[in-house]
Structure 1
Amino acid sequence: MSNRYVKESFSYWTSHPDDITEADIPYLQEASDLYPYCQTLRVLVAKATALHQPDVAEVPIQKAAAYSISRNTLRKLIQNEFQWSPNLKSKKFENVLWPADYQKKDVESLAKPRWNLPELPKISLFDEPLESSQQKTLMPELPPIDDTTLRENVLQNDLEQIESSTAEENVKLHRELERQIQMDIIDSFIENEARIGPIRANLNDVVNVEPEDLAKKRNSTVRGEVVSEGMARIMVRQGKIERAIEIYEQLMLKKPEKKAYFAEKIKDLTTE
């Protein structure tokens, strides 16, 4: 059942990877295990996991990078920077096999229902006039407005809005941090690892080789965090100036050719 579902949806997912839901990830993973040489399945698993489950996206991204021919293209796909060619855009995916889940509903099923309104009683204009006492509608006397209560309610609403905006900013910073960590992992593949060579004669050797955990190799860490210029910028945004200076000092040791550049960054932070 799951393999059939993946086969029917595969063509659609390759051209619409952002439409993959979190519930589709187990089916893609099962298909990837069944067809270990299918590069596209591993890329789709990495893309869907980074989109819906960023906390556990490190391993799928590593495997996709190990099997991908172009890791720059993989990074653009995960960052939503991939551009479709004009030829594909002009065809509008006319040859794509759409799964049953994405078929449009019949227009007749969306037609508005007809409503039969009940017949209203007729009103006579020649009824006897109402008594004068019934014609006058007395408005109930409203209690005086308590200004203190009103001000307290306004202040409470303002505080709730401030707390809500602060929580949203924290969530955005957390997501940006996770995204920066993922990009650093991909950068480590591009900088430190050679491109995949030609397919070997014995394909079993390729399958049995486990990808090296380059995240551990890459992460020269301080306090368990990734040391990179992007991480230093995030620390500055969060107001953690001392932490940012520590990261720049680590980068000066790691990249001595850019020592003057990082020293200028430290000087800017200490003079603010």
Structure 2
Amino acid sequence: MKVQKLLKLLTQPNTLSSSDIPDLESLIKNYPYFYLAHALLAKVVYTQERDVEKHAVQRAATYAIDRTHLRMWLENKLVWSGVISAVGSKGMPEQSAAINNTNHLEDIAKQTIKKGTNAISRQQFRVIEHILNKPNLQWGTIESYEVPDALKNKDLSEQCTLVDDRFATETLAHIMVQQKKFKRAIEIYRCLIIKNPEKKAYLSSVIDELSHHLQ
């Protein structure tokens, strides 16, 4: 897919159609960690191909930095074109703007690929893809309770080394629990405590409960 076509789809998502699906799938195949491609594919199937919507939307949500924004965009409640449109409104020549946008998107793609090439990242994405392909997937629930005193003052920062923290999400932790990989799930929850200290009480209680499975 040419960069100018990609820019048009991003700034004018209403022009997306089923004919764009092969190009987007090819783009994802070549740049598997390029989130914008996943988001566009989710958008087109969300509006055009409802029978295959679930998998594409789940995959885009898994890679999304902010799932709320993704959902708003899918439902036409959020517009991404403002930033690019604002650049053009400052009087930048059209050709120069196109070149800058092209370079910017190429930089994004390269950075995305670079960030996703380490072994841990590839393994985590393979796990996510495998789980998303399972039919009738359901999450179990874990009830929270008072955090043990031993955990309240414990420094967990040095323990957040075994999981790439960019992919440490509650969804991934749930996947590990479903697969009974409790040690891995605990590592992810410890990373989440560092990233979200306001949720320390809840996450610590989850870790404590999961620890019982290791005894």
TM range (shorter): 0.3 to 0.5
Q: TM-score, normalised by structure 1?
A: 0.37
Structure having the higher Rg: 1
More helix by share: 2
